Amino acid sequence: MTETHFKGFPSRSEVTPLPNIFFSDLLPRMSNASEIKVVLHIFFLLSRRKGYPRFVSFRELLNDPVILKGLSNQAEKIEDILRGSLQEAVKTGIIIHIPVEKDGISDDIYLLNNESERDIITRIISGELKLPSMMVRTQEELPAEQIPDIYSLYEKNIGMLTPILAEELQEAEHKYPADWIQEAFRIALRSNVRNWKYVHGILKRWEREGKKSGEPVRYFKKERDPNAYIKGKYGHLVQR
């Protein structure tokens, strides 16, 4: 049956708020119609969501009649289209993704990518904020002797080192525990925020407020060979 022509908006229809930057910056980059449909519906759902934190789950979207109708006219399976659309939106930076487990079943939740939600993501992944009846699916922790140094973490996950950044990393490496640094990088990657400022902000907050207890913490590593990095792979970047 052919759908009837849209008759127009009611004079007093409800509205869903969207940031102006979505139209000026993001929409011109989005060429996938499925991604646009999914993202707009996430804005719709989150604008009506109560409680804290506000998020939508993959399972919820997969069973949403509006999503099912909007994606059903394509050849691929709806689940594959939805997952691909969400991955594109995460890659674009519109939403942030956390892998979770509920009642023994794997799921994924999505939050809008803004400053307050990024802070929430940090707290959730670090264990400071608990999700009701959900657990974050975490990667297996490495033994302390296998934790990569801060320089390797930066180059692998963010980009090429510069001399100025190398000095900042050297200072942080001496100031914070190796497992803190590794976890802060992991939180940034899961939040899809690949920059040192965000990682450093996580570490400074843990130092100020405590990583999980809420109590201020001051942690400084034991003295080590001051020439360790000058002699090593990154020696040409680090100043004495």
Structure tokens of 224?
């080590």
Percent of the chain with pLDDT over 90: 32
Please compute the mean of the pLDDT values over residues 67-86 and round it to a whole number.
88
Please compute the mean of the pLDDT values over residues 72-83 and round it to a whole number.
84
Give all domains of the chain, ordered by start, each with its CATH number: 20-136 (1.10.10.10), 144-231 (1.10.10)
Residue 55 has pLDDT above 60, yes or no: yes
In 73-112, which positions are buried (b, 16+ CB within 10 angstroms) versus exposed (e)?
A: eeeeebeebbbebbebbbebebbbbbebeeeeeebbbbbb
- The model's confidence at residue 34, banded by pLDDT at 50, 70 and 90, is very high
Whole-number pLDDT of residue 231: 47
Integer angstrom CA distances of residue 129 from 124, 125, 183, 197: 5, 8, 15, 22
Considering the chain, what is the average pLDDT of its residues? 81
Residue 145 has pLDDT above 50, yes or no: no
- The model's confidence at residue 138, banded by pLDDT at 50, 70 and 90, is low
Residue 85 has pLDDT above 60, yes or no: yes
Q: What is the pTM of this model?
A: 0.62
Whole-number pLDDT of residue 193: 78
Residue 157 has pLDDT above 90, yes or no: no
Residue 223 has pLDDT above 70, yes or no: no
Whole-number pLDDT of residue 90: 87
Structure tokens of 199?
């990682």
Whole-number pLDDT of residue 125: 78
Q: How many CA atoms lie within 13 A of 227 on its CB side?
A: 1
Contact criterion met (CB below 8 Å) for 130 and 167: no
Residue 14 has pLDDT above 50, yes or no: yes
Percent of the chain with pLDDT over 70: 82
